[in-house]
Structure 1
Amino acid sequence: MKDADDDQNVGAVVLAYHPDASLVGNVLALVPQVSAIVVVNNSPGAEPEVFEQLRGIAAVEVIDLPGNLGVAAGFNAGMRRVFETGHRYAVIFDQDSTAPPGLVQGLVDAYRSFGAGAGIVGPALRSGVTGHEFRRERGSGIGVRATLISSGALFSREVVERIGLHDEGLFIDYVDHDISLRARRRGLKNLKAFDVVLDHRFGGAVPRRLFGRDFFVADYSPMRQYYMSRNRLVLIRRYGFGAWFWEDLSYMGKAWAKVLLFEGDRPRKVGAFFRGARDGLRYDAKRRDQASGTTS
């Protein structure tokens, strides 16, 4: 989408952490849809081959961070670069998301058609493993949602100037919930564009089979279980028990049933959960990393 019209001026941010070769294909899928792509290398010591390939693609810029600074800092670094180079919109992606043709244009159209009060815009999600659209992602038109996941989220410059960037103190997990809920608190409506679909993978997507039925478990590491537990409590203390919490509680219950029944390394994951809960209660929930409040 290489339109000189400022309303159509979109830059993409792709966050990379020790990526495999599939990242190149996911970036190439974005090339016809945006005017610039910023790949943020958040993986110190990563093998250079993938990033060397990306540097050879026109309109792609690779930013090497000094270490693993976390999801929030990585997305912020890319979004700052997109806005610094004059783009009106930034759309952000995880490395394991694949954008079908027309996805970015669909997000921009949803934002513009909603008009005043539009906040963050996200696509419907389809499993990158099974090819099936998730149940709560089915619909048509535009719906208002309390929270959106990071991957595929479109931010206008106007929205970011109003709500700030991601809270880098959260590091990973619930970073997307936090910025979505902050947008709502500032009077904006987060939009789900149901007619725009993103192929996305959650976690390791490890296959399991029970009673003849195939399913997948995320198999998140103990570190991820720590941050999910900690940041969930931080958000409860910031925003209270809204609709977002009850949706998340249902998800958490199902996820932990899979952890306890089907995943390995259970003692460490359970220990990480309780350490995260302890630290979530100790965390200064009113504090946000100051970097989250600026685009430059």
Structure 2
Amino acid sequence: MKYAAAIVFYNPDEDAIKRISRYSNNFDEILVIDNSEKEKINIANELMHYENCLYHKMNGNEGMAKALNYAFYRAIEREYEIILTMDQDSLYTDENIKTMKDFINGNFDENVGIYSPNYSKLYFDEKLNAFIVGKPVIKKSDIKRVDFCMTSGSFVNVKALKKVLPIDDYFIGYVDNYLCARLTEMDFKLLRVGSSCFNQQVGGKVKNTIFNRIFNILHHAEIRYYYMFRNNLFLQERFKKNFLLKTRSKIDLIRIMVNIIIGEENKWKKIKACETGYKDFKRKIMGKVPDESITW
């Protein structure tokens, strides 16, 4: 099978750039999509060392949705069969990439839209000054059908993408929810493969406390909560016939507000950002937040 990988950059550090070497050995083509506000010539120069790596600079930060649309349409054009999508901060080891590819090669099903890895959340332990890996979401021996998986770490069936593109311009936040909902709407399955494991840090540096593990405190910036609140409402509107998705999305909004109130810093600013997200949803504003909306 022909495999491509797409990694989305946003002001990457040296470690993110070095991780490209890991992916270049495992895929026929590596597509690096740079959403950084300013162009850094050294990034393009460093990536030139990899023959199968293509660097594409977006026009500033155009968001995750546009970056993924670019990657997916290129995968279709180049006739790849599977494309892995990654963000710059996530780490997917050679061993686990190989495990997933072996599984797909031996069990490929054209009705599966995404093969998603097992994952563990990362929590920061201040005493150890290191990240602690949480419990995997499923057993390593399990293969589970799910209705949602994160974009980062997902192996996506390119033929399935032909039936669901483009992704609506949510910019960031709920982009992966949208893609999963579109695929399931078109009767594609989403599979989580327990034997291929992946560590994921979502949001800011989350301290390793029982409180944070129970309430899933994210410590996002205010602007991220704007997108999460706004795009959650757009998702509910777009998939209003999907009762399960609508119910979970409404619960998600409640969870966001409760978590801000009980566990976040800068509570008022984050609540204000959510309120602005609601107002921009009512005004049907998608894409990047307008400058005039940033009032928090």
Match of 1:36 in 2: 29
Equivalent AA in structure 2 for residue 144 of structure 1: R
Q: Structure 1 residues 270 and 137 mapped into 2: Cα distance closer, same or farther (>3 Å)? A: farther
Within 5 Å, which residues of 2 pair with 1:138-153?
138=139, 140-153=141-154
Within 5 Å, which residues of 2 pair with 1:1-296?
7=1, 9-111=2-104, 113=107, 115-129=109-123, 130-134=131-135, 136-138=137-139, 140-167=141-168, 169-207=169-207, 217-240=217-240, 242-247=243-248, 253=254, 255-283=256-284
Give the unaligned 5+ runs of structure 1: 1-6, 286-296
Q: d(CA) in 1 for partners of 2:251 and 2:19?
A: 31
| SS of match in other structure, 2:190 | strand
Q: Structure 1 residues 137 and 57 mapped into 2: Cα distance closer, same or farther (>3 Å)? A: same
How well do the aligned residues superpose, as a CA RMSD in angstroms? 3.0
| SS of match in other structure, 1:150 | coil
Q: d(CA) in 1 for partners of 2:192 and 2:12?
A: 28
Contact 1:76 1:166 (C-alpha < 8 Å) held by counterparts: yes
TM-score, structure 1 as length reference:
0.81
Equivalent AA in structure 1 for residue 220 of structure 2: Y
Contact 1:205 1:216 (C-alpha < 8 Å) held by counterparts: no
Q: Structure 1 residues 136 and 208 mapped into 2: Cα distance closer, same or farther (>3 Å)? A: closer
Contact 2:35 2:60 (C-alpha < 8 Å) held by counterparts: yes
Q: d(CA) in 2 for partners of 1:134 and 1:67?
A: 37
Contact 2:236 2:249 (C-alpha < 8 Å) held by counterparts: no
- Percent identity over the alignment? 21
TM-score, structure 2 as length reference:
0.81
| SS of match in other structure, 2:178 | helix
| SS of match in other structure, 2:162 | helix
Q: Structure 1 residues 83 and 95 mapped into 2: Cα distance closer, same or farther (>3 Å)? A: same
Q: d(CA) in 2 for partners of 1:256 and 1:135?
A: 26
Q: Structure 1 residues 243 and 196 mapped into 2: Cα distance closer, same or farther (>3 Å)? A: farther
| SS of match in other structure, 1:272 | helix
Aligned residues: 277
Contact 1:140 1:195 (C-alpha < 8 Å) held by counterparts: yes
Q: Structure 1 residues 53 and 116 mapped into 2: Cα distance closer, same or farther (>3 Å)? A: closer
Q: d(CA) in 2 for partners of 1:162 and 1:81?
A: 15
